[in-house]
Structure 1
Amino acid sequence: MATRTQARESVIGLLYAYDLGNEGIVKFVDEILEEKKIRNQQKEFALKLFNGTVTNIEKIDNEIVTHLNQRTLDDLGSVEKSILRLAIYEILFEDLPKAIIINEAIELSKRLASDGAPKFVNGLLDKVIKA
């Protein structure tokens, strides 16, 4: 059985594809999650996260831009942006402990993003929580 971390990692991959202009990915989310063996409760969790993030992407992106110091959304790498979008969605719309959300985002950025990403992700999410 997949873990929540694996579900989040799959969602980041989906958000990454979506960010690169593959908006049609929305039609294939079920199949992609099935291929990654994300099933049952974790699939429901992943679908909720992906759909919630895409639905609220404008509000989430505004939140990111608010906390970027003299940078734009386009300055961020797509992986980092996807990690931040997911984490901010969870912070704003899900009833999960903020520390767990931030820790998951940091761990995923260590595995999936550039070397400086964990520190950057931590700093930005900390600003979002304190705002």
Structure 2
Amino acid sequence: MNRRQAREKALQVLFHLDLNEQEPQIAISNVLEEEATDSFLEELVFGTTSHKEEIDTIIKGNLENWTIERIGNVDRAILRIAIYEMKFASSIPTNVSMNEAIELAKTFGDDDSSKFINSVLSKVKDQLPVK
């Protein structure tokens, strides 16, 4: 599984967790079905869920005339993954995290998702130390 595929699977897992109270490992197993797990996928899921409160605070602080509850589940999961990578995964360049999030939004979000994701993440990027 390459990193893009791991991000797609992480998005599915986090979307699932947003809708159902479940342990992350069970959600990973459900999404993967018979497929082997991946260390990057697990890092994204467990990292994002363990820092969810802090990540959500960052999201809330970078929304204009919007609340985190109004964000669609897909867009919210994409933002959480990207912000986890930008803040906590020091080996991943910020621009890579942003580009990957925008691509996920183009694939899985609605027509305006990629612009929305880009807007929020650009604000977040300006607040984080340079990697």
What's the TM-score, normalizing by structure 2? 0.90
1:58 and 2:57 matched:
no
1:14-63: CA deviation from partner (whole Å, max 9, x where unpaired): 1101111x121424145235437354xxx111101100100110000000
Q: For residue 113 of structure 2, what is the aligned residue in structure 1?
A: 117
**RMSD of Structure 2 on Structure 1 (CA):** 1.5
Kindly indicate whether residue 94 of structure 2 is the aligned counterpart of residue 98 of structure 1. yes
In 1, the alpha carbon distance for the partners of 2:28 and 2:68 equals: 28
1:35 and 2:30 correspond: no
Displaced runs of 4+ in structure 1, greater than 6 A? none
Q: How many residues align?
A: 126
Could you tell me how far apart the structure 2 residues matched to 1:105 and 1:38 are?
23
CA distance in 1, matches of 2:44, 2:120: 20
CA separation of 1:38 and 1:88: change in aligned 2, threshold 3 A: farther
User: Alignment identity in percent?
Assistant: 37
Structure 2: unaligned runs, 5 residues or longer: none
With the length of structure 1 as denominator, give the TM-score of the two structures.
0.90
Q: 1:74 aligns to what?
A: 69
SS for the counterpart of 2:111 is coil
In structure 2, the partner of 1:128 is 124
Q: If each structure's helix is expressed as a fraction of its own residues, which one has the higher value?
A: 1
Unaligned runs of 5+ in 1: none
